[in-house]
């Protein structure tokens, strides 16, 4: 028993809040995570909570205050829909809990700034699940860009064209409401803008167009059609301040959740000395299937495999589990060592600033600049 207690003491004790993406991905990753001990799960719906608790044999909480006041708990992974995330995170930080947050972190930049202030004041470690930073092919792309493989970037292009919402009969839920953080901007845009910031540098201006293709969806309770207020397509032109070359680079981002037979996720980078292409046409898995190609000068494109240091020591049928586990590990080590984690609230804030300005640009038809301070 003593050895078991010592082993547990070396781990970070956490709870999981939210049972959608949280149960499908985070819980699987946690079950194979040597750095973390999963103490509890939380959900506002008792019936849903009881089913998950019985299945996974984990203590269940429906009372948020009881959870955050559990002294054995070091941190909480919050995977709820976007709307309640800010209030839950705020109360958890005030109770002294470290956090791993799904994205979008909150509904707007102001909310993220408030969370950031409390986290800094209380010296709490907050990570954000921008898991593409933890995917081997993306990490290899980052390394090649850092090593000046293509010289000065001249053009960046992201096409992320998925079919997940293309079925008109798919039921109306929070994703259908802009006011609740739903839509392609929060689902894909937050990732895409973080990719740009990580790979190159901050966004300094944006011009955009948002569109809602499927304007009504059936509501399960009444069987009647309800209006969709969130966008399922986003087209954006950005100016990126590339840190390495100290130049302003144009970027074009096309996002869609309603593209039948869409081409998936692709990043093209064209530079003064070569080109890089990263992409996957896998519509069923947002991580599996990526490949990387490189062309130096005028040579033909050839494939590049990730360095061994970036490879996963284990993968799952669901490709999202391995990079989420890697993010969980970074967070847990940050808590143990009392070191800030990247990606964290600063990265979540910079991505959200772009989302906020895209909404403004779409409303006004004007290009919007993005300031370093709110």
For the chain, the structural domain boundaries read 2-130+332-342, 132-312+349-369
Token pair listed for 146: 């850092």
pLDDT tens-digit map of 89-114: 999 999 999 999 999 999 999 999 99
CA dihedral 51, 101, 277, 302 (to 10 degrees): -70
| pLDDT at residue 298 in the model | 84
How far the first Cα of the chain sits from its last, in Å, is 52
User: Is there a contact between 180 and 225 (Cβ–Cβ < 8 Å)?
Assistant: no
Which of 356, 338, 336, 337 minimizes the C-alpha distance to 348? 356
* pLDDT value at 6 more than 70: no
User: Residue range 118-145: average pLDDT?
Assistant: 98
pLDDT at 341 over 90: yes
Whether the predicted pLDDT of 374 surpasses 80 = no
Half-sphere exposure of 368 (CA within 13 A, CB side): 19
In which band, very low, low, confident or very high, does the pLDDT at 9 lie, cut at 50, 70 and 90? low
Asked whether the predicted pLDDT for residue 225 surpasses 90, the reply is yes
Please choose, from the candidates 192, 183, 202, 203, the residue with its C-alpha nearest in 3D space to the C-alpha of residue 132: 192
What does the alpha-carbon distance between residue 152 and residue 145 come to, in Å, rounded to a whole number? 9
Residue 188 backbone phi and psi in degrees, to 5: -110, -35
- How many residues are there in the chain? 374
Domain covering 132-312+349-369: architecture: 2-Layer Sandwich (3.30)
Question: What's the CATH superfamily of 2-130+332-342?
Answer: NAD(P)-binding Rossmann-like Domain (3.40.50.720)
| pLDDT tens sequence across 167-192 | 999 999 999 999 999 999 999 999 99
Judge residue 7's burial from the number of C-beta atoms within 10 Å of its C-beta, 0-12 exposed, 13-18 middle, 19 or more buried: exposed
Give the contacts of 43 (CB within 8 A, at least 6 positions apart): 17, 18, 19, 49, 52, 60, 62
More confident site: 202 or 2: 202
**Residue 286 confidence (pLDDT):** 82
How far, in whole angstroms, is CA 96 from its chain's centroid? 24
The two structure tokens encoding residue 306: 């990730």
Q: What is the pLDDT of residues 191-212, one digit of tens each?
A: 999 999 999 999 999 999 999 9
Q: Is the pLDDT of residue 314 over 70?
A: yes
Task: Tell me the whole-structure pTM to 2 decimals.
Answer: 0.95
Other beta carbons less than 10 A from residue 258's beta carbon: 20
Question: What's the pLDDT tens digit per position in 57-73?
Answer: 999 999 999 999 999 99
Taking every pair of C-alpha atoms in the chain, what is the biggest distance, in angstroms?
Answer: 65
Local structure of residue 344 (DSSP, 8 states): B
Give the pLDDT confidence of 248-257 residue by residue, as tens digits. Answer: 999 999 999 9
How many other CB atoms are there within 10 angstroms of residue 297's CB atom?
10
Confidence at 372, pLDDT banded by 50, 70, 90: low
């Amino acid at each position: 028993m003593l050895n078991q207690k010592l082993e547990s003491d070396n781990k970070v004790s956490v709870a999981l809040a939210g049972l959608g993406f949280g149960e499908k991905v985070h819980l699987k990753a946690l079950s194979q995570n040597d750095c973390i001990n999963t103490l509890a799960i939380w959900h506002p719906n008792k019936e849903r909570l009881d089913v998950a608790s019985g299945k996974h044999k984990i203590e269940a909480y429906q009372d948020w205050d009881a959870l955050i006041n559990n002294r054995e708990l070091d941190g909480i992974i919050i995977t709820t829909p976007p709307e309640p995330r800010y209030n839950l995170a705020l109360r958890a930080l005030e109770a002294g809990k470290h956090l791993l947050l799904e994205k979008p972190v909150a509904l707007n930049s102001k909310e993220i700034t408030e969370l950031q202030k409390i986290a800094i004041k209380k010296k709490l470690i907050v990570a954000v699940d921008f898991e593409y930073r933890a995917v081997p092919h993306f990490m290899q792309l980052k390394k090649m860009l850092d090593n000046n493989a293509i010289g000065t970037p001249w053009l960046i292009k992201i096409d992320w064209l998925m079919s997940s919402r293309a079925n008109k009969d798919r039921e109306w839920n929070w994703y259908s409401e802009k006011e609740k953080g739903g839509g392609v901007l929060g689902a894909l845009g937050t990732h895409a803008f973080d990719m740009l910031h990580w790979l190159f540098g901050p966004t300094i201006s944006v011009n955009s167009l948002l569109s809602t293709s499927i304007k009504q969806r059936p509501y399960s309770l009444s069987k009647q059609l309800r209006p969709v207020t969130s966008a399922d397509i986003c087209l954006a032109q950005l100016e990126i301040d590339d840190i390495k070359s100290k130049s302003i680079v144009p970027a074009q981002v096309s996002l869609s959740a309603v593209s039948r037979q869409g081409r998936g996720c692709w990043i093209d980078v064209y530079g003064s000395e070569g080109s890089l292409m990263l992409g996957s046409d896998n519509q069923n898995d947002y991580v599996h299937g990526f490949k990387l190609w490189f062309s130096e000068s005028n040579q033909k494109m050839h494939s590049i495999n990730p360095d061994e240091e970036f490879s996963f020591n284990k993968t799952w049928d669901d490709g999202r589990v391995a990079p989420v586990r890697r993010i969980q590990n970074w967070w847990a080590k940050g808590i143990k060592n009392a070191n800030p984690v990247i990606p964290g609230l600063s990265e979540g804030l910079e991505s959200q600033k772009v989302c906020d300005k895209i909404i403004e640009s779409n409303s006004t038809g004007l290009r919007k600049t993005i300031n370093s301070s709110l």
